[in-house]
């Protein structure tokens, strides 16, 4: 199992576009085998900080998801918007999980 958290801040004038881009790639993720991954996007209380939490069954599933064209377009637009060095990627070790709240 691969678990990753990505955090970043966008400029206030890009928040609405970022949210729209997220909805676009999430709709495309619905076409993938949901038994092999979980992808969650959260917005922090400040309204400009986003958290993406993803879990993948294996590297193959991770690569498939990361290569979805709308996801790649989202990343390009997000990065071009100016992230002021706020972008962080953390690899996590899963110790356990319980429940199925969506």
Tell me how crowded residue 74 is: count the other CB atoms within 10 A of its CB: 21
Span 17-45, average pLDDT:
97
Q: What's the confidence (pLDDT) of residue 82? A: 87
User: For 42-91, what is each residue's pLDDT tens digit?
Assistant: 999 999 999 999 999 999 999 999 999 999 999 999 999 988 788 999 99
Q: What's the confidence (pLDDT) of residue 16? A: 97
Q: What's the confidence (pLDDT) of residue 102? A: 60
Q: pTM above the 0.75 mark?
A: yes
pLDDT class for 20, splitting at 50, 70, 90?
very high
Dihedral (CA of 72, 89, 31, 47) sign:
negative
Full set of structural domains in the chain with CATH: 2-92 (3.30.70.100)
Contact 65, 29 (CB under 8 A): yes
**Averaged confidence pLDDT in the chain:** 94
């Amino acid at each position: 199992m691969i678990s990753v958290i990505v955090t970043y801040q966008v400029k206030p004038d890009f928040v609405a576009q970022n949210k729209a881009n997220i909805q676009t790639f999430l709709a495309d993720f619905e076409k993938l085998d949901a038994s092999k991954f979980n992808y969650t996007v959260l917005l922090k209380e400040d309204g400009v900080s986003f958290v993406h939490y993803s879990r993948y069954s294996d590297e193959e599933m991770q690569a498939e998801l990361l290569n979805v064209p709308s996801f790649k377009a989202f990343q390009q637009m997000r990065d071009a918007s100016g992230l002021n060095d706020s972008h962080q990627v953390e690899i996590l070790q899963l110790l356990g999980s319980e429940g199925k709240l969506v």
